[in-house]
A and B are shown apart, each in its own frame.
Chain A
């Protein structure tokens, strides 16, 4: 299925390709819970979250990973990520009322001339602190 792919030849390591500020509210988490089927109460119930030692409700790790993937997709086009990995290094508390602001910056981390793939490195932070570690997406280019 040949989808449009980003052009390999114009890329250089270090290029910033996309950035986004994600505003996360309890509403975002309820929507993600429904869409994903992950109904762990730590993502919507403060009393439960505190009872298991968390500061309060936190975002699904997969929510944050998914939002970061969408930033890559905005540049890469749909369906062109062949490999994507993250470490969940720090939870993202989501206040109520209020919001958490997750900043996502995607840069070219490495290029594979033979495979025509670009490794996109993601810096994903809340208040200047990294929440995803080793966040890397490999994108098939044309």
Chain B
């Protein structure tokens, strides 16, 4: 079944806010082999001008994907998770994410396009900090196969 094109414009969240921890930043930096000391040493991070440990450049996806999940499981959107492939991803960072940030995310369905048995579902997650200031915009496109 194709993805419901009528879902365009839907908005989800905010859900529970995401608290960025030093432990998670270090763990993520290790997992993507981001070698800068500012991911691991608070001293190095503050010396470089950050408030605390700074997250690697794709860490925002960890936060955004928790919201994208709500799109995938929405029965009115109709995404079959077993047929999903990640097609595109884009980050626009308004400022770096640092440990101690409390991030609130709202996600929008930007477009649903169908061609050759594949639905392309594009979402945009807006990440904001506790003061409401924008932190990152994460655009993600999922390709969903429509075959049986």
Residue ranges of A at the interface with B (Cβ–Cβ < 8 Å) = 1-4, 22, 28, 31-32, 34-38, 52, 60-63, 65-67, 69-70, 72-74, 77-79, 81-88, 91, 137
Q: Do A61 and B57 have beta carbons less than 8 Å apart?
A: no
CA gap between A15 and B64 in the complex, in Å: 33
B118 to chain A, nearest CB (A): 13
Residue of A nearest to B86 (CB): A61
B135 to chain A, nearest CB (A): 12
Q: Do B61 and A36 have beta carbons less than 8 Å apart?
A: yes
Which of A35, A62, A78, A83 contacts B24 (CB under 8 A)?
A35
Q: Which A residues are in CB contact (< 8 Å) with B35?
A: 70, 73-74
Which of the segments B6-14, B90-98, B102-110, B121-129 contacts the partner chain? B90-98
Q: Do B27 and A35 have beta carbons less than 8 Å apart?
A: yes
Q: Could you name 24 residue pairs across A and B whose Cβ atoms are closer than 8 Å?
A: A22-B33, A28-B31, A34-B27, A35-B30, A35-B62, A36-B31, A37-B65, A52-B83, A63-B31, A66-B34, A67-B33, A69-B57, A74-B36, A77-B48, A79-B50, A79-B54, A82-B93, A83-B90, A84-B90, A85-B88, A85-B139, A87-B87, A91-B85, A137-B57
| A3-B90 contact, Cβ under 8 Å, with A67-B33, A84-B58 | no
Q: Do B57 and A81 have beta carbons less than 8 Å apart?
A: yes
Q: Do A66 and B38 have beta carbons less than 8 Å apart?
A: no
Which of B30, B51, B54, B91 contacts A31 (CB under 8 A)?
B30
Residue ranges of B at the interface with A (Cβ–Cβ < 8 Å) = 24, 27-28, 30-36, 38-39, 45, 48-51, 54, 56-58, 61-62, 65-66, 82-83, 85-93, 95-96, 98, 139
Which of B27, B85, B90 contacts A85 (CB under 8 A)?
B90
Which of A70, A77, A83, A87 contacts B33 (CB under 8 A)?
A70
Which of A1, A31, A69 contacts B49 (CB under 8 A)?
A1
Work out how many contacts link A and B, with CB atoms closer than 8 A: 129
Residue of B nearest to A54 (CB): B85
| A70-B34 contact, Cβ under 8 Å, with A38-B65, A65-B58, A78-B48 | yes
CA gap between A73 and B33 in the complex, in Å: 10
B96 to chain A, nearest CB (A): 4
Q: Do A66 and B58 have beta carbons less than 8 Å apart?
A: yes
Residue of B nearest to A48 (CB): B82
Which of A22, A70, A84 contacts B91 (CB under 8 A)?
A84
Q: Do B96 and A1 have beta carbons less than 8 Å apart?
A: yes
CA gap between A60 and B140 in the complex, in Å: 14
Q: Which B residues are in CB contact (< 8 Å) with A2?
A: 49
B57 to chain A, nearest CB (A): 4
Q: Do A65 and B33 have beta carbons less than 8 Å apart?
A: no
Q: Do B36 and A62 have beta carbons less than 8 Å apart?
A: no
Kindly list the 5 A-B residue pairs having the minimum CB-CB distance in the complex, ordered from nearest.
A66-B32, A79-B96, A85-B90, A35-B31, A78-B36
